Amino acid sequence: MNDPIVMAGPCSVECEEQILATARALAKIPEVKLLRGGIWKPRTRPDAFEGRGEEGLKWLLEAKKETGLPIATEVATPEHVELALKYEVDALWIGARTVVNPFSVQQLADTLKGMDLPVFIKNPVSPDLNLWVGAFERFRKAGVAPLAAIHRGFSYYKESPYRNFPMWEIAIELKRVLDVPVLTDISHICGCRELLRDTAQKSIDLAFDGLMVECHHDPDHALTDASQQISPEMLKELLVSLRPRSSQAAANDQVLAALRSEIDDIDAELLQLLARRMNVSSQIGAYKKEKGLTVVQMDRWKQILANHLQTGEELGLSKELINKVFEAIHLASIQRQS
């Protein structure tokens, strides 16, 4: 991506001065194509700042008129959509907490039926590709276009440095299945400023189409998500520091072509080996049945996995990879034998 599209702006529109000061600075950054501003904030706990509502939309529209930047906000109900349209909002996004609920998504799709209005659909809170795809299908069926996705990371049960764990493979799969542009919301993935740059770089390296970044003229005093917001100046520095990557050069690059051909050969070998292994599994299954033995022999399975983890480590392969690959093989093998 040589020219990343950036949607930037405050987590929440707080007051006229805040959104105008932020928008003026952002308008000077060429990559910033859309000004975001939260008007209705889905908060985890009651009594937290829940956004300015309609009053905030007036200030957001003022920022659009003054800077020429198109504006975007989050909608979760038909009333939100109606108000956003009244105040000339140019693009909408559906938040992670809304995408988890098919009733809400359907209601929004019905409200926007047949409209030419860009709608960005964030991933649901949980790592559920189908739920994310389903939201797109509801909007597509309603004839809403254009649609794009935002990867904002997922709730994750393991400890991690991220606020919402980025599962790049899910975002890549969504892009493959639906053929839609995908932006990376580095702010909600990271939850802090320190990880933003590397996460943005990763997004570019993986050929995603742009970034959503929370920016505030005085981030330390933001009413919501202060720890992850950055100033427009910091955004400018961050964008300058990114290394572009081309996805075009690949077609006539001989070094890459040779390496890819090697990968193709290895994959073909892997498939042959897997087929052979499954064949042996079937034979073992038939034998165990004849002898009245259980299919799963836990001690042997634990031993096999421990051995593979050890060998894998010696070969420089991660524990995660070995666990994933052999758990999948073991499961398929059990299914063969049952």
Residue 38 lies near ligand PEP (rule: CB under 6 A): yes
Nearest Cα neighbor of 55 from 66, 40, 70 is: 40
Q: Which residues contact 50 (CB under 8 A, 6 or more apart)?
A: 40, 41, 43
* Residues whose CB is less than 8 angstroms from the CB of residue 30 and which lie 6 or more positions away in sequence, other chains included: none
225 interacts with Mn ion by CB under 5 A:
yes
CA distance 98 to 75: 9
CB 153 within 8 A of CB 188: yes
Residue 14 touches which member of ligand PEP, Mn ion, none, C-beta under 5-8 Å by kind:
none
The dihedral of CA 308, 314, 317, 319: what is its sign? positive
From candidates 96, 149, 190, 223, binder to ligand PEP by CB under 6 A: 96
Count of residues in contact with ligand PEP, rule CB under 6 A: 11
Element (H, E) at 338: none
The one of Mn ion, ligand PEP, none whose footprint includes residue 95, by CB under 5 to 8 A per kind, is ligand PEP
Q: Is 64 in the site for ligand PEP (CB under 6 A)?
A: no
The residue number whose beta carbon is nearest to ligand PEP equals: 95
**Closer residue to ligand PEP (CB): 95 or 219:** 95
Other residues' Cβ atoms within 10 Å of the Cβ of residue 298: 8
Q: Which does 122 bind (CB under 5 to 8 A by kind): ligand PEP, Mn ion, none?
A: ligand PEP
11 is an interface residue for ligand PEP by CB under 6 A: yes
Q: Which is nearer to Mn ion, 1 or 11 (CB)?
A: 11
Q: Which is nearer to ligand PEP, 42 or 161 (CB)?
A: 42
Of 37 and 285, which CB lies nearer to ligand PEP in the complex structure?
37
152 binds ligand PEP (CB under 6 A): yes
* Residue of 95, 118, 124, 166 interacting with ligand PEP (CB under 6 A): 95
Under a CB-based contact definition with an 8 Å cutoff, are residues 213 and 183 in contact? no
Residue 110 tokens read as 């019905």
User: Cβ atoms within 10 A of the Cβ of 335, count?
Assistant: 12
Retrieve residue 42's tokens. Answer: 């889905």
Interface contacts to ligand PEP, rule CB under 6 A: 11, 38, 42, 74, 95-97, 122, 152, 185, 188
